[in-house]
């Protein structure tokens, strides 16, 4: 009786393996294809996929361009600071134009904008 039970268990196991093998033969390639499709979709559209990588690379390029622009601006500002510290003509121009200062003995006459004559470049024929 014990050997019959063992034989029956082996038959059930063999039958289950055959059914599994038949199922895998029938649906295995489809299952594998779906799995590969899911991996492909994840690699393209996932959080760390191709599209996310491209967006990140574009952001990096924008930031690098911004840094380059800021570096150029810094160089220009450094040159302007040097000029302001050392060029007496530039200092005098700013003192006269922006601060309204004059040399001793000079008189500054300011004409209101409303009373000024139109500029030649702004008058149309």
**Domain ranges, ordered by start, for the chain:** 1-45, 47-101
pTM for the model:
0.51
From the number of C-beta atoms within 10 Å of its C-beta (0-12, 13-18, 19+), residue 49 rates as middle
| 3-state secondary structure (DSSP) of residue 122 | coil
The yes-or-no verdict on residue 80 having pLDDT over 70 is yes
What's the confidence (pLDDT) of residue 125? 47
Phi, psi of 123 (to 5 degrees): -85, 130
**Mean predicted lDDT score pLDDT of the chain:** 86
Q: For residues 103 and 55, which has the higher predicted lDDT (pLDDT)?
A: 55
Q: Per residue in 13-36, pLDDT tens? A: 888 888 888 888 899 899 999 999
Task: Take residue 99 and report the two structure tokens written for it.
Answer: 């601060």
The Cα 54–Cα 45 span in angstroms is 11
């Amino acid at each position: 009786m014990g050997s019959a039970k063992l034989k029956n268990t082996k038959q059930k196991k063999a039958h289950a393996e055959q059914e599994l093998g038949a199922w895998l033969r029938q649906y295995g390639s489809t299952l594998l294809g779906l799995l590969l499709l899911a991996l492909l979709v994840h690699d393209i559209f996932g959080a760390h996929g191709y599209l996310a990588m491209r967006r990140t690379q574009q952001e990096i390029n924008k930031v690098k361009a911004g840094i380059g622009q800021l570096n150029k601006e810094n160089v220009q500002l450094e040159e302007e600071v040097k000029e302001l510290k050392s060029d007496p003509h530039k200092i005098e121009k700013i003192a006269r134009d922006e601060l309204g200062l004059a040399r001793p003995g000079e008189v500054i006459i300011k004409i209101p904008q409303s009373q000024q004559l139109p500029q030649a470049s702004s008058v149309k024929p």
